[in-house]
Amino acid sequence: MVNGKKQSNCYWLYGIHAVKAAALNPKRVIQRIVTLDDKLLPQALPATSRTLKARVEVVDKGFFQKTFGQNIVHQNIAAWVEPLPALHLEDLCMKATPKQTVAVLDQVTDPHNIGAILRSAAAFNISALVLTHNHSPQQFGTIAKAASGAFELIPLVFVTNLARSMETLKKSGFWCIGMDGTGKQFITDIKGYDKKAIVLGSEGQGMRRLTASHCDIIAKIPTSENFSTLNVSTAAAITFYEANK
């Protein structure tokens, strides 16, 4: 099994930050930890972390090469983990606070981008990422590595129908703000909405037409007239910062 893909529901998390964050997360069940050097364990398993029941093994380079291949930066440590308890959209809406922001991802498929979006979400108080079961990456190891610990902090809420889920959010008091270069308003000018769902489109095509039609507002980021194209994770960071003001 390669790159953190699911196998019997469990998957690999790799890298010191990802393993450390998992060890500190009381909701995360770790079955096994493998490393090339037990001297890495104090970094990945801090003394303040909970008592772990995981089996800890020192393995050889062949194990890591066979499991992860040549191109994965695993930092010589990995954890075989169970998925976190699922958060359903209905529960998210039921537990929503009077002032809360969530992010909605419309077919964002690059796991590195999702990891970077999670980092920004954790930094700017975004409470969850809503994304579809289909057209969303399942390489959780890659996502967690790119998220640098935020994978354990921000829940992923998987839904079947994004447009229907946006309507559910709206019925719960969220304003759906879609981000697109064609927007008539700047995100910096949108004020006064306590419950917001920030909708971000895919890396290449942006929001789908149906997704955009379910947004209450279409906004854009003020950029240079000479160059206005931003990576989705960069756009997310800017938008989350503005939404958190």
C-alpha distance across the termini of the chain, in Å: 42
As a whole number, mean pLDDT of residues 202-212 equals: 91
**Which of 81, 99, 129 is the last residue in one of the domains?**
81
- Tracing tokens 């909708």 back to the chain, one arrives at 199
Specify the 3-state DSSP secondary structure of 68. helix
Residue 233 belongs to domain with CATH number: 3.40.1280.10
Whether residue 74 is found in the same domain as residue 107: no
* Per-residue confidence (pLDDT) for residue 8, from 0 to 100: 60
- For the stretch 164-201, pLDDT in tens is 999 999 999 999 999 998 898 999 999 889 999 999 99
Whether residue 59 is found in the same domain as residue 113: no
Q: In this structure, are residues 236 and 115 in contact, taking their beta carbons and an 8 Å threshold?
A: no
Pairing mode, strands 156-159 and 77-81 = unpaired
Task: Please give the model's pTM, rounded to 2 decimal places.
Answer: 0.90
- For the stretch 133-167, pLDDT in tens is 888 888 999 999 999 999 999 999 999 999 999 99
Whether residue 137 is found in the same domain as residue 198: yes
The domain of 108 spans: 89-243
Give the pair of three-digit tokens for residue 88: 């359903």
Task: Pick the closest to residue 143 from 44, 40, 238, 3 (CA basis).
Answer: 3
Q: How many domains does the chain have?
A: 2
- For the stretch 18-64, pLDDT in tens is 999 999 999 999 999 999 988 888 888 877 656 678 889 999 999 99
